[in-house]
């Protein structure tokens, strides 16, 4: 019976409400610690610096590409001029034209004094 009495007494103790309940305060938890904030800040600075570097690199590549295109345009214009000069040289070095100019200036063509030079 002593065992039965113990059980009844145990039930009474458990059922008694606390008379002075103190509100349980949970310690305020911060989401991030100071170290994490510093790490996240440093990572943000590095990310922003990397993006700025990438944009400046892209801008310099764009500028170099534009400069190359301008140089190619100038080169094609100069190539056209050189081709025109070659065409003029071909026209002006025509043997018939040279003979005509020579006769106009009083030169005489003598086959004995002509030497053939090959390119």
Q: What is the pLDDT of residues 20-42, one digit of tens each?
A: 667 777 777 778 899 999 999 99
Query: Which residue, among 84, 109, 83, has the nearest Cα to 96 in the 3D structure?
Result: 109
Quote the Cα angle for 114-118-119, to 5°.
135
pLDDT bin (cut points 50, 70, 90) of residue 108 is confident
How far, in whole angstroms, is CA 107 from its chain's centroid?
68
């Amino acid at each position: 019976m002593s065992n039965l009495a113990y059980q009844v007494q145990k039930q009474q103790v458990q059922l008694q409400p606390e008379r002075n309940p103190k509100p349980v305060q949970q310690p305020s938890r911060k989401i991030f610690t100071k170290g994490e904030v510093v790490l996240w800040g440093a990572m943000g600075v590095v990310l922003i610096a990397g993006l700025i570097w990438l944009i400046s690199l892209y801008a310099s590549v764009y500028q170099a590409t534009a400069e190359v295109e301008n140089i190619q345009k100038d080169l094609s214009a100069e190539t056209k001029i050189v081709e025109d000069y070659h065409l003029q040289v071909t026209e002006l070095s025509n043997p018939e034209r040279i003979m005509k100019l020579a006769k106009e200036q009083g030169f005489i063509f003598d086959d004995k004094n002509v030497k053939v030079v090959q390119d």
